Amino acid sequence: MAAIQEKQAGLSGNQLKLLAMAAMTCDHVGVQLLPQAQILRIIGRLAMPIYAYMIAEGCRHTRNRRGYLKRIAALAALCQAVYYAALGSLYQGILVSFTMSICLIFALEQARRGFGPRMLALAAAAGTGFVCLGLPRLLAGTDFAVDYGVWGVLLPVAVYFGRSKGERLGLTALDLVLLGLTYGGNQWFALASLPLLWLYNGSRGKYPIGKLFYWYYPAHLALIAGISLALGTLG
């Protein structure tokens, strides 16, 4: 009985995802609709570390790695299409970063287990470096950039290969400090996600809500972009 109670203590993956979803919405509203409300951007800093941690958990527990990668990549492509159609922007959102994270995780895992050539892992690392560091320079006349850059891509990778909860949280903290040093400003508030992640109890939660996120992410981006365009037209 005590073991059951211990397992249920803390926050489930579902609860953390819902918290991240709310924080993400605040952040996007702050970017597009209320840029003067800095509190929304501060709250929004909680979203990425939580989602990154859950991406690593998804990679660790999924039974269909190829299907998991396809779902995230397809959602990333859909969101980028919406973003470009609405705003004409080449900025690559967080799901593009996480797609590269998953590719790196699976390539490194294959190489570690000896199931594939190490060249695959090297190619994945080189590709990540090129997209995050090379392409922004080649497309210097545009707004092309990858959300959170290299550190955003590496955070789920670091969490995935952490051997214990303490090590995963330590690697998360280190990555967030590097993000803060790189970008400064509100990015330091991402460290506030660490107590929430410490409460993670390792369970998925009672109800599967994966599809909710898959639908919500592009829908809320489209809605916010539509409101932004409407306000711009009225203005």
- Write the pLDDT tens digit of every residue in 8-57: 689 999 999 999 999 999 999 999 899 999 999 999 999 999 999 999 99
- Please check whether residue 221 lies inside any domain of the structure: yes
- Please check whether residue 116 lies inside any domain of the structure: yes
**Residue 5 confidence (pLDDT) above 70:** no
Residue 2: what pLDDT?
42
DSSP 3-state of 9: coil
- Give the domain extent around 159: 53-234
Decide if 12 contacts 205 (C-beta within 8 A). Answer: yes
Structure tokens, 45: 């800093």
Return the percentage of the chain with pLDDT > 70, whole number.
Answer: 94
Decide if 45 contacts 192 (C-beta within 8 A). Answer: yes
- Count CB atoms within 10 A of the CB of residue 223: 12
- Given pLDDT bands bounded at 50, 70 and 90, which one contains residue 167? very high
CA distances from 18 to 116, 200, 208, 210, 233 (A): 36, 13, 12, 10, 33
Residue 4: what pLDDT?
42
- Please check whether residue 29 lies inside any domain of the structure: no
Residue 3: what pLDDT?
43
Decide if 194 contacts 173 (C-beta within 8 A). Answer: yes
- Please check whether residue 33 lies inside any domain of the structure: no
**Residue 145 confidence (pLDDT) above 80:** yes
- In sequence order, the β-bridge partners of residue 146 are 92
- Given pLDDT bands bounded at 50, 70 and 90, which one contains residue 111? confident
- Given pLDDT bands bounded at 50, 70 and 90, which one contains residue 136? very high
Distance CA 191, CA 211 (A): 28
- The alpha carbon of residue 100 and the mean position of all alpha carbons in its chain are separated, in whole angstroms, by 11
DSSP 3-state of 146: strand
Residue 233: what pLDDT?
58
CA distances from 8 to 41, 72, 212 (A): 31, 28, 23
Distance CA 18, CA 216 (A): 11
- Please check whether residue 112 lies inside any domain of the structure: yes
Total domains present in the chain: 1
- Please check whether residue 153 lies inside any domain of the structure: yes
- In sequence order, the β-bridge partners of residue 92 are 146
DSSP 3-state of 92: strand
Between 198 and 218, name the one with better pLDDT: 198
- Please check whether residue 12 lies inside any domain of the structure: no
Q: How do the residues of the chain divide into helix, strand and coil, expressed in percent and rounded to 5?
A: 80, 0, 20
Decide: residue 59, CB within 10 A, 0-12 exposed, 13-18 middle, 19+ buried.
Answer: buried
- Please check whether residue 31 lies inside any domain of the structure: no
